[in-house]
A and B are shown apart, each in its own frame.
Chain A
């Protein structure tokens, strides 16, 4: 028997409207409202063994504590599938459904599916971590949404591969999975070229995702008062790589003190970057991080001070997500230390 736990807000849980949005969580050992449809769909193979109901405001206004209080009601009994909502276009309800599905998936390792209108603000927050069936904006689409939610949850329970969004009805997660085609990539390329040559419609397998342009910062007005920092993605680390910085696919960065150094010696530093031939950098690390030249300029008063540390990561095959995180963290450190300009050398 497939045991389902269902989550509803105060409205669909038949407690009341907006005036009841502040009520705390409660649990009922049977299907309520839309849960009846889940029971019917399972046709005796399973049923809703518990319905968790909570007011929208209670869930969203009590932060982590509120979310955890509601979540902890779910694993009180053994179950197989968690279904939340659908929340349609209700923002607070969507947040509760998304958050609870995420916790069930990540912490209990059990299938969890919800449903929302694609423009529900919770979709952007949870679509990568949770399967969200696309619904209409209001409850009129209930009878279409619930069967899709149940079907997908059953598929997850059986460990079957999940099809494309348009087949299963979920909102695209922005995730791409490797699959085997029935044709070689070269053959697909030739077929697309024919379509393009004939002026027929064709599909790309890697869509254009837009340009991510970074506007340049305004020039430093008074360079003689500026603190300048050195930053590189060239993998320059103290000999032996004491912090074990990744030589490719970096997930982090390091900073090294060069306050008392006039230049970077080849006996003290090396590049562990595996995206280029590091021979010339290892002969003279100042070729990657021009500490020698900047010390001269610092003495000559071209700027006020060189920041005592240099920052380093490894820019090769790094995912854009990680690269953005690393860049933001370095920039935050620099700004909070009063650095006004950075020289970023790339390889």
Chain B
């Protein structure tokens, strides 16, 4: 078996989304049979009232209580996607994947303990997140009576993923706009001479509703392990944390379009040798964190044999500890390490320390911005979602003065943002 894992991403560009009699994709236009889609989502009896709405770029629309965002996709070979979450288990990362590029599926819900995000489709807020430029299919669902936060979250997750696959299936048998092949070829002679680079992808793992799923299972049940980068950009990991602020978790969309993985991939064989990805949980005790970082660094150094690594974290200040322990573990094995992190600087950017844990080895850090910094948003004409959100006072339709942490991918710990800080 010397054949490399090969993934073909078949992109179907979306320039418009509308409701209509039949769910279909044609010439960039995605038409959705609303009744059929609601019927599909309503099969999950853990959900109560269900609605589907569409939000397009430039509309004076504010989407509230956004818990996760995914991308409509389907695997051509098995007509399914999000392996381990839906249907039978299949290895992600090989074969053909159809992607409705330019569209997104938003899970919208509200219950005490869920912390959603807010997306403006026009105005100043729309420059802060890629989701403002997408055609968004919004799934709104309340919990059925007596359904608690964890089950409600799982049901919303299912609703979002099923919708993504349902829409993805509209591309079956059609010609894509373009195709990109992901084939991490290690065989050509000169690849071996390039610097070996890896990616250490920390995944939050602090309990139910607070962690992503890997092939359908909670991240806390994983020790550090190697995944082929194809698996990650092809649905092996999905966001599952609704009990965490939107700024400190990776949306499913971010993982499917992971900017570090794609950035390394596109340089593979030219400037670097992309050796692979280690995923690692973020345990809750220091002893576990030290064990995890030791194991992760060892996989990078002695199994993948990397010279350099990028490490990203997921979560709040607690996970700065994981980031710094991983940095120390990698640097102590001679791996050149670059970290991506957000900063905690208060609304005015004046707080004394930007991080909750530090290390002298962390000499190359990329900032994705101060989560506490305030932004002004203009009033909007239409709301999709609830009329209230935790920690935002006032009328959500009106002008808002809120911290940037409410905007999904305003802050992006995986690096899917242009935001950074500048010293003044």
Tell me the A residues contacting B by CB distance below 8 Å. 128, 162, 164-165, 172-190, 192-194, 196-197, 202, 204-206, 208-212, 248-249, 274-277, 316-317, 319-322, 324
Q: SS class of chain A's interface: helix, strand, loop or mixed?
A: loop
Q: Does the CB pair A189–B310 fall under 8 Å?
A: yes
Q: Which residue of B lies closest to A173 (CB)?
A: B424
B216 in the interface, Cβ–Cβ < 8 Å?
no
Q: Mark B343-381, 1 if CB is under 8 A from A, else 0.
A: 111101111111100111011111111111100000000
- Please judge, given known A-B contacts A192-B364, A196-B336, whether A275 and B318 are in contact too, CB under 8 Å: yes
Bound CA span A242–B310, Å: 45
Q: Pick the contact of A178: B206, B243, B272, B373 (CB < 8 A).
A: B373
Contacts of A186 in B (CB 8 A): 259-260, 262-263, 310, 340, 414-416
Q: Mark B77-116, 1 if CB is under 8 A from A, else 0.
A: 0000000000000000000000000000000000001010
Contacts of B336 in A (CB 8 A): 193, 196-197
Bound CA span A164–B423, Å: 7
Number of interface residues of B (CB under 8 A): 74
Bound CA span A175–B272, Å: 36
Contacts of B322 in A (CB 8 A): none
Q: SS class of chain B's interface: helix, strand, loop or mixed?
A: loop
Would you list the 9 A-B pairs with minimal beta carbon distance, nearest first?
A: A186-B415, A186-B259, A185-B415, A206-B365, A277-B207, A176-B421, A319-B351, A205-B367, A319-B346
Q: Which residue of A lies closest to B261 (CB)?
A: A186
Given contacts A193-B338, A209-B353, 7 further A-B contacts (CB under 8 A): A175-B348, A180-B127, A185-B412, A192-B366, A193-B310, A277-B208, A320-B352
Tell me the B residues contacting A by CB distance below 8 Å. 113, 115, 127, 195, 197, 206-210, 243, 245, 259-260, 262-264, 267, 271-272, 284, 307-310, 316-318, 336-338, 340-341, 343-346, 348-355, 358-360, 362-373, 391, 404, 412, 414-424
- Please judge, given known A-B contacts A202-B364, A206-B341, whether A184 and B318 are in contact too, CB under 8 Å: no
Q: Which residue of B lies closest to A183 (CB)?
A: B418
Q: Does the CB pair B260–A204 fall under 8 Å?
A: no
Contacts of B415 in A (CB 8 A): 184-187, 189
Bound CA span A317–B342, Å: 12
Bound CA span A194–B273, Å: 12
Contacts of A248 in B (CB 8 A): 391
Bound CA span A100–B233, Å: 57
Q: Does the CB pair A208–B420 fall under 8 Å?
A: no
Bound CA span A301–B336, Å: 55
Contacts of A324 in B (CB 8 A): 352
Shortest CB-to-CB span from A325 to chain B, Å, is 11
Task: Please name 27 pairs of A and B residues whose Cβ atoms are closer than 8 Å in the assembled complex, sorted by A.
Answer: A172-B423, A174-B350, A176-B370, A176-B421, A176-B424, A177-B370, A177-B373, A177-B421, A177-B424, A178-B404, A181-B419, A186-B260, A186-B263, A186-B415, A186-B416, A193-B310, A194-B271, A197-B197, A204-B363, A205-B421, A206-B355, A206-B362, A275-B316, A277-B208, A316-B317, A319-B345, A320-B353
Q: Does the CB pair B365–A204 fall under 8 Å?
A: yes
Q: Does the CB pair B350–A321 fall under 8 Å?
A: yes
- Please judge, given known A-B contacts A317-B317, A319-B345, whether A175 and B424 are in contact too, CB under 8 Å: yes
Bound CA span A98–B326, Å: 44
Q: Which residue of B lies closest to A321 (CB)?
A: B351
Q: Does the CB pair B260–A189 fall under 8 Å?
A: yes
Contacts of A206 in B (CB 8 A): 341, 343, 354-355, 362, 365-367, 421
Q: Does the CB pair B344–A317 fall under 8 Å?
A: yes
- Please judge, given known A-B contacts A184-B259, A193-B308, A204-B365, whether A176 and B354 are in contact too, CB under 8 Å: yes
Q: Does the CB pair B424–A190 fall under 8 Å?
A: no
- Please judge, given known A-B contacts A190-B264, A193-B197, A319-B372, whether A184 and B416 are in contact too, CB under 8 Å: yes
Shortest CB-to-CB span from A346 to chain B, Å, is 10
Interface centre among A181, A189, A324 (most CB of B within 10 A): A189
Bound CA span A64–B209, Å: 53
Q: Does the CB pair A185–B424 fall under 8 Å?
A: no
Contacts of A128 in B (CB 8 A): 350
Bound CA span A174–B113, Å: 35
Shortest CB-to-CB span from A151 to chain B, Å, is 16
Q: Pick the contact of B420: A162, A185, A194, A322 (CB < 8 A).
A: A185
Contacts of A183 in B (CB 8 A): 418
Bound CA span A183–B210, Å: 30
Q: Does the CB pair A188–B353 fall under 8 Å?
A: no
Q: Does the CB pair A316–B316 fall under 8 Å?
A: yes
Contacts of A192 in B (CB 8 A): 338, 364, 366
Q: Which residue of A lies closest to B336 (CB)?
A: A196
Contacts of A321 in B (CB 8 A): 346, 350-352
Bound CA span A176–B372, Å: 11
Bound CA span A276–B316, Å: 10
Q: Does the CB pair A188–B366 fall under 8 Å?
A: yes
Bound CA span A208–B308, Å: 20
Bound CA span A185–B263, Å: 11
Shortest CB-to-CB span from B396 to chain A, Å, is 20
Q: Does the CB pair B416–A317 fall under 8 Å?
A: no
Q: Does the CB pair B364–A204 fall under 8 Å?
A: yes
Q: Pick the contact of B358: A178, A180, A193, A211 (CB < 8 A).
A: A211
Bound CA span A130–B271, Å: 46
Q: Which residue of B lies closest to A131 (CB)?
A: B424
Bound CA span A196–B340, Å: 15
Bound CA span A286–B250, Å: 34
Q: Pick the contact of A179: B127, B207, B341, B422 (CB < 8 A).
A: B422
Bound CA span A179–B343, Å: 13
Bound CA span A187–B420, Å: 12
Interface centre among B115, B206, B404, B424 (most CB of A within 10 A): B424
Contacts of B404 in A (CB 8 A): 178
- Please judge, given known A-B contacts A187-B259, A205-B365, A319-B372, whether A196 and B419 are in contact too, CB under 8 Å: no
Contacts of B243 in A (CB 8 A): 274, 277
Contacts of A277 in B (CB 8 A): 206-210, 243
Shortest CB-to-CB span from B406 to chain A, Å, is 13
Q: Does the CB pair B419–A178 fall under 8 Å?
A: yes
Q: Does the CB pair B424–A172 fall under 8 Å?
A: yes
Contacts of B337 in A (CB 8 A): 196
Q: Does the CB pair B423–A176 fall under 8 Å?
A: yes
Shortest CB-to-CB span from A132 to chain B, Å, is 12
Shortest CB-to-CB span from B319 to chain A, Å, is 11
Q: Pick the contact of B366: A185, A209, A316 (CB < 8 A).
A: A185
Bound CA span A93–B364, Å: 40
Q: Does the CB pair B418–A180 fall under 8 Å?
A: yes
Shortest CB-to-CB span from B158 to chain A, Å, is 21
Q: Does the CB pair A178–B259 fall under 8 Å?
A: no
